[in-house]
Amino acid sequence: MGNSESVPIPGGGTEGYHVLRVQDNSPGQAAGLEPFFDFIVSIGNIRLDKDNDTMKEILKQHVEKPIELTVYNSKTQTVRQTTVVPSELWGGQGLLGVSIRFCSFDGASQHVWHVVSVQPNSPASIAGLQSNSDYILGAESVLNQADDLIALVQANEGKPLKLYVYNVDSDIVREVSLTPNSAWGGEGCLGCDIGYGYLHRIPISVDRSKSPIPPPVNKPPAPSSFPDPSQFAAPVNIPPPSNFAPPPATFPPAPPPAFTPQSTSTPMVQPQTSNGSTDGHSHTHDGHGHSHNHESHSHSHTPSPAPAPAQAPQGPQQSVSS
């Protein structure tokens, strides 16, 4: 999970009331408050950024009346609005039935201990800790440093210790009671490997209370702004293609030429390869080439027949070559 500072809090700041415990059937449970992950940052649009009696006084003024809470969740890194009804009639302690403490939620997602592995028949196994999916969130005392959990366990050798554990598979926070014992028959007093740090934080999850994403709706294509060409097409009865075959044309034979036509041809010239400035040249642009070779072209010009002269030409016909 990332740093909670990346989520804007209405009113600013990184302080609020950390929800440590939510009693069953309490107004806090009915409002959906989640222990250890939720921080109450505002009540009735009043920012709770100081540790005073503001929240307590507002709750007293709204007994059996709904009031809105602004809550930051460190697991989903989101801010949401929820409505709670403070009550003295629900059957438990407090108007909300929650245990809270004022603190900063900056870096709250960092202070978790990942249960990497659990040895059989160890105190951790007897307490029900599960490998990989369990994360120790805290205890009845505040745990803010990596060594705080180790010191707490060592200080409670042979005594029951209550821990709050979150399971990523069930998405539930539960209370776990275990008794550290160095003489259980294995390594350590808990018999489990615990990881702390960036690689052992709780994965960012989504709010499972949100409705699922609806399936995409297949909408009909938007009407075009251009008119349908068929509206302007005049109906035409087109006959089969065989009806359009033109009749064969008859042309009179061409008159014989009165003289021998002159012919012009291009002489064969070997292209130069040193600089390419020849009749046969090529151009290459980025991988493709165009080649023009005048050696393979022949041009023949036959003038149209002229009127018959009064007499035949006097000299022999000449052939001109360029």
Q: Given pLDDT bands bounded at 50, 70 and 90, which one contains residue 254?
A: low
Same domain, 117 and 75: no
18 assigned ligand-binding residue: yes
What range defines the domain where residue 165 resides?
A: 111-200
Number of domains forming the structure of the chain: 2
- What is the per-residue pLDDT across 46-91, written as a single tens digit (0 to 9) for each? 999 999 999 999 999 999 999 999 999 998 889 999 999 999 999 9
What tokens appear for 245 in the block? 């075959």
Same domain, 174 and 89: no
103 assigned ligand-binding residue: yes
Let me know: does 152 contact 160? Beta carbons within 8 Å.
no
Pick the closest to residue 164 from 4, 16, 18, 49 (CA basis): 18
Considering 62, 86, 108, which residue would you say is the last residue of a domain? 108
Same domain, 15 and 34: yes
- What is the per-residue pLDDT across 92-131, written as a single tens digit (0 to 9) for each? 999 999 999 999 888 788 889 999 999 999 999 999 999 9
Same domain, 88 and 21: yes
CA dihedral in degrees (307, 308, 311, 313; nearest 10)?
80
pLDDT value at residue 252: 53
Torsion sign across C-alpha atoms 253, 256, 260, 261: negative
- What is the per-residue pLDDT across 207-216, written as a single tens digit (0 to 9) for each? 444 433 333 3
Alpha-carbon gap, residue 112 to 197, rounded angstroms: 8
Let me know: does 107 contact 4? Beta carbons within 8 Å.
yes
Give the CATH number for residue 181: 2.30.42.10
- Please give the single-letter amino acid code of residue 99: S
Considering 171, 200, 229, which residue would you say is the last residue of a domain? 200
What Rg do the C-alpha atoms of the chain give, in angstroms?
Answer: 47
Considering 49, 80, 108, which residue would you say is the last residue of a domain? 108
